Structure 1
Amino acid sequence: MEDITNSKRLLDPMDRAEGILFGLIMALSFTCSISIANTHRAEIRQLLVGAISCNLAWGLVDAVMYLIGVLAQKNRNKVIFDAIQNSSETDKVRKYISDALPPIVASVIGTEGLEQIRNKLMNLPEVNRSVRLTGHDIKKALAIFLLVFISTFPVVVPFVLIHDTMVALRFSNLVAIVMMFLCGWSVAKYVGFNKWKMSISMILIGIILVAITIALGG
């Protein structure tokens, strides 16, 4: 299991796996449709351009939604902090603090621990707590965008390099399966799950989601 105290990385394995898997599913929904219709090279080219354009758009959507979520969370934190500092009701303040903590942490520290946190928060000096995006937030949003977008290319490149469409399709699917396997392995290593079970599960989940996406016309 990876060291969960390491916060230097921009994206943790869960974030990376989510971005890559999403990009793969969107790309495969285009490339796998090649096997359904008897497509010519010109049509294949259009499908590949469509896959790249789709992931470009969805990468941008993911990045923007991430930034909106960050702003919303920061504003919520500010509201909670202001409520803690301005409230004279001790029990209500402890409830604010308890709700902001992970449940297992809140249950362990108890009333005494919550009171210590309350006292420290009450004595914090006044600082500018304006809600705004930081450079780190922008970098993480950019990383999310790039993950979704770049994950298209390993699936698309075989159709550019291999003239035989069916061979290219098989190779493309193989690359996608390997990428899903590696995503599952990375996530399992991070959270402490069985690596083989998680990797195989990630492949099965990916295949099912691709099938559903294609069936729904995505």
Structure 2
Amino acid sequence: MRELSGQAARTRDPVLSPVDRVSEMLFGLFMALTFVGAVSVAEPGGVQVRTLFIAALGCNLAWGLVDAVMYLVRTITTRGRAHSLMRAVRSAPDADGGCRIIEGALSKTVAGLVSRAEIEAIRGRILALPQAPPRPELDRDDALAALAIFLIVVVATFPVVLPFLFLDNVVLAKIVSRGVALAMLFIGGLALGRYAGYGSWKAGLVMVGLGAGLVAAINALGG
């Protein structure tokens, strides 16, 4: 029995997909890079720079919270849409009407891969349910996923912010901070490229290019 429960734990899906994890990390990094660009508004000196980045970290805490809440909103909305779709299929007047509802819900890519017989099979499985599916609700895994998003967004800013807390030379701190951020962007691009099946090195370089472009834009705007 214990062995079966251990196997179930190992096969359980993660609360966030690799794309979600990397995307949230990159989101936090891009936000942190904009904070680094704001350093020029502070005069050299430990107190002002530290105060600026404590405020920036507080801003990222807020955005991490917003992103986590919006994940929950997006999740319950998506499930509500699926629930409405199933109810619409069950209440369709005929088989053609039910199939059209299912076809309309498919993306163009998926619709091109699914035959009419397969769509009819999906409709049949929906109709075979003993009763209408219950209204969707958020569960413990959703809360864990939202917490993970919050932590990823916040933690991703620390490598970019910490140089300003430990280095008195603001110019050197900006160089170190941006170098660390670009390295993390490259790692994130590698992970996304490998997951998507593209060239991982190419994806990493593209992500670095995006980060470098953002840094250039920040400098042009006075960062």
User: Please, what TM-score do these two structures have when normalized by structure 2?
Assistant: 0.86
Who is 2:4 aligned against?
Answer: none
Who is 1:140 aligned against?
Answer: 145
State how far apart, in whole Å, the 2-side matches of 1:18 and 1:134 are: 23
Unmatched segments (≥5 aa) in structure 2: 1-10
How many equivalent pairs are there? 213
Letter in 1 for 2:86: F
Unmatched segments (≥5 aa) in structure 1: 1-5
* 1:143-158 to 2 correspondences below 5 Å: 143-158=148-163
SS of corresponding position for 2:113: helix
Letter in 2 for 1:206: G
SS of corresponding position for 2:115: helix
* 1:56-71 to 2 correspondences below 5 Å: 56-71=61-76
Could you tell me whether the CA contact under 8 Å between 1:26 and 1:51 is conserved in 2? no
Match of 2:103 among 98, 101, 104: 98
**What's the RMSD between the two structures over aligned residues?**
2.3
Match of 1:39 among 44, 64, 73: 44
* 1:1-218 to 2 correspondences below 5 Å: 8-35=13-40, 38-126=43-131, 129-212=134-217
Give CA deviations for 1:35-93 in whole Å, capped at 9, x if unaligned: 46543222101221122011101101111111111111111111111111111222221
Identity percentage of aligned residues: 38
Give CA deviations for 1:91-128 in whole Å, capped at 9, x if unaligned: 22112222333433333331111111111110111265
State how far apart, in whole Å, the 1-side matches of 2:57 and 2:150 are: 13
State how far apart, in whole Å, the 1-side matches of 2:200 and 2:78 are: 32
User: Please, what TM-score do these two structures have when normalized by structure 1?
Assistant: 0.88
Could you tell me whether the CA contact under 8 Å between 2:189 and 2:205 is conserved in 1? yes
